[in-house]
């Protein structure tokens, strides 16, 4: 009799290596947190004990402005009485170049989000199904299976899917350190390049995210120049992911690689490429508007042909062209978005500061990089995973652990703050407060003993250190009867 496992293996043998394999990268704590949320999503009335989604980098703070514009401009949709006269022109077959008015509007918007310091040629705008499709298209254009891209750490976990899964390309980590704010240095780039060479991985390019996901930092002018010079000297490509260009706030400044190359003499622009989308800056991830902008003519030509596999619908192009051509609306949206991001960032960081929880100083993006290294039992990724499981399944906050972002230092977590309303943010901060206060109360005896043994040592951080050997603290009695965070029966704090 053939076993189930044997039958399953035989079934997989009928499929391609991609279909039978697990190269998607979904077997990660980053995606596991999403699954926990989907099984028990928070709702203030229907499911107040559910998991709050803090793992989704989405800008929902200006949805009211979007709705207001759509109601004011029904002609922007071909499915309304005001816009139906254009139905036949828009709904018929459109080639992969995209609607001219769409490419012109996107180019203009890209200029505006870069403070009008650079110009973008609409004829170099290549559309794709979101930044995911754009990244894969660039990878297909620049590298062969087995080639590699250098990627500074920590980096977005989705890159393992976007750039590797179907292309066969390798991602070579460039190790950055918290001691200098995870800055990208030429020394780190050289070390990663040499490691790739020793591993027989031909390096075809360097991929940087600016502003950074997950750090929320921006690259300054000198750093960007060093990256351009490094890639030019090596004869490799520089891919700049700039999908968070308009999410800076406060005194933070975004500088595009498009601006920097204007200042570098003899720059080989054939090696410069930008990935952009409207998912983050405009809060429109569902519309799947991704952009490849390349200074390389051949890449533009081939990427445009490849876009046939992931075009933006003509109806969406029509809507976006109308919206982005409304300069008064765009100006108001960008200005208001920055103000609301700044206010939300201040709200969450003030809350964390009050609890003695650290975070990387940065003012861009839809998230922050939270430092919980002092809550780990040991400085290992096993301890990080254990703490993450407690936070997701007991505290019921889906935050993303640094290990899933390929951070080489355990204890960092990405926390998204722009995808919820004010009340939900308050609930999330209250859950964190209850969690840390309970830990502090339960570890006071341990802290007292430590103080007696080492009187000169400052141990306020140790008071919050988790003792994972005592799993009773995560049993039903861990949270007080009045806690807004009921204990979950799903998962204990065990590996």
Residues with a catalytic annotation lie at 156, 241, 243, 280
Q: What is the CA radius of gyration of the chain?
A: 24
Alpha-carbon dihedral 296, 297, 303, 304, rounded to 10 degrees: 150
DSSP state of 161: I
SS3 152: strand
Give dist(CA 462, CA 332) in Å, integer.
47
Give dist(CA 324, CA 333) in Å, integer.
10
SS3 103: helix
Task: Count Cβ atoms within 10 A of the Cβ of residue 328 and give its class: 0-12 exposed, 13-18 middle, 19 or more buried.
Answer: exposed
Residue 239 bridge partners (DSSP): 207, 273
CB atoms within 10 A of CB 96: 15
Give dist(CA 12, CA 147) in Å, integer.
27
8 Å CB contact between 120 and 292: no
Give dist(CA 222, CA 430) in Å, integer.
41
Give dist(CA 363, CA 93) in Å, integer.
43
Give dist(CA 224, CA 325) in Å, integer.
30
Give dist(CA 309, CA 133) in Å, integer.
9
Q: 381 vs 32, 54, 154, 173, CA distance in Å?
A: 16, 20, 14, 17
């Amino acid at each position: 009799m053939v076993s189930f496992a044997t039958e399953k293996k035989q079934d997989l043998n009928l499929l391609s290596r991609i279909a039978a394999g697990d190269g998607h990268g979904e077997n990660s704590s980053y995606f596991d947190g999403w699954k926990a949320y989907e099984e028990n999503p928070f709702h203030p009335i229907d499911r107040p004990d559910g998991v709050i989604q803090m793992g989704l980098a989405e800008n929902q703070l200006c949805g009211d402005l979007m709705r207001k514009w759509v109601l004011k401009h029904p002609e922007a949709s071909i499915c309304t009485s005001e816009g139906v006269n254009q139905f036949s022109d828009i709904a018929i077959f459109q080639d992969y170049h995209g609607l001219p008015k769409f490419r012109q509007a996107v180019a203009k918007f890209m200029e505006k989000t870069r403070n009008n310091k650079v110009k973008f040629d609409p004829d170099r705008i290549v559309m794709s199904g979101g930044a995911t499709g754009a990244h894969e298209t660039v990878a297909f254009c620049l590298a062969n299976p087995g080639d590699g891209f250098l990627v500074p750490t920590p980096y977005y976990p989705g890159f393992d899917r976007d750039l590797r899964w179907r292309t066969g390309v390798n991602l070579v980590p460039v190790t950055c350190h918290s001691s200098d704010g995870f800055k990208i240095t030429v020394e780190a780039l050289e070390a990663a390049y040499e490691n790739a060479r020793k591993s027989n991985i031909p390096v075809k390019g360097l991929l940087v995210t600016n502003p950074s996901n997950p750090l929320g930092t921006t690259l300054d002018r000198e750093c960007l120049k060093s990256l351009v010079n490094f890639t030019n000297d090596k004869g490799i490509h520089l891919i700049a992911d700039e999908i968070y260009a308009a999410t800076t706030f406060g005194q933070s400044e975004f500088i595009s690689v498009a601006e920097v190359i204007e200042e570098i003499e003899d720059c080989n622009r054939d090696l410069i490429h930008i990935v952009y989308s409207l998912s983050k800056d405009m809060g429109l991830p569902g519309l799947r508007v991704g952009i490849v902008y390349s200074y390389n003519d051949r890449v533009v030509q081939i990427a445009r042909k490849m876009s046939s596999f992931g075009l933006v619908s003509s109806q969406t192009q029509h809507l976006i062209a109308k919206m982005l051509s409304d300069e008064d609306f765009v100006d108001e949206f960008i200005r208001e978005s920055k103000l609301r991001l700044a206010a939300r960032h201040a709200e969450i960081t003030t809350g964390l500061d009050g609890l003695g929880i650290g975070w990387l100083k940065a003012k861009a993006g839809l998230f922050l990089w939270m430092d919980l290294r002092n809550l780990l039992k040991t400085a290992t990724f096993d301890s990080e995973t254990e703490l993450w499981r407690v936070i997701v399944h007991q505290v019921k906050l889906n935050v993303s652990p640094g290990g899933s972002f390929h951070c080489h230092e355990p204890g960092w977590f990405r926390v998204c703050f722009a995808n919820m309303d004010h009340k939900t943010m308050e609930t999330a901060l209250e859950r964190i407060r209850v969690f840390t206060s309970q830990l502090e109360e339960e570890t006071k005896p341990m802290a007292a003993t430590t103080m007696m043994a080492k009187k000169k040592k400052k141990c306020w951080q140790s008071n919050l250190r988790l003792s994972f050997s005592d799993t009773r603290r995560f049993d039903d009695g861990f949270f007080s009867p009045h806690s807004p965070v009921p204990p979950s029966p799903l998962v204990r704090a065990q590996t």
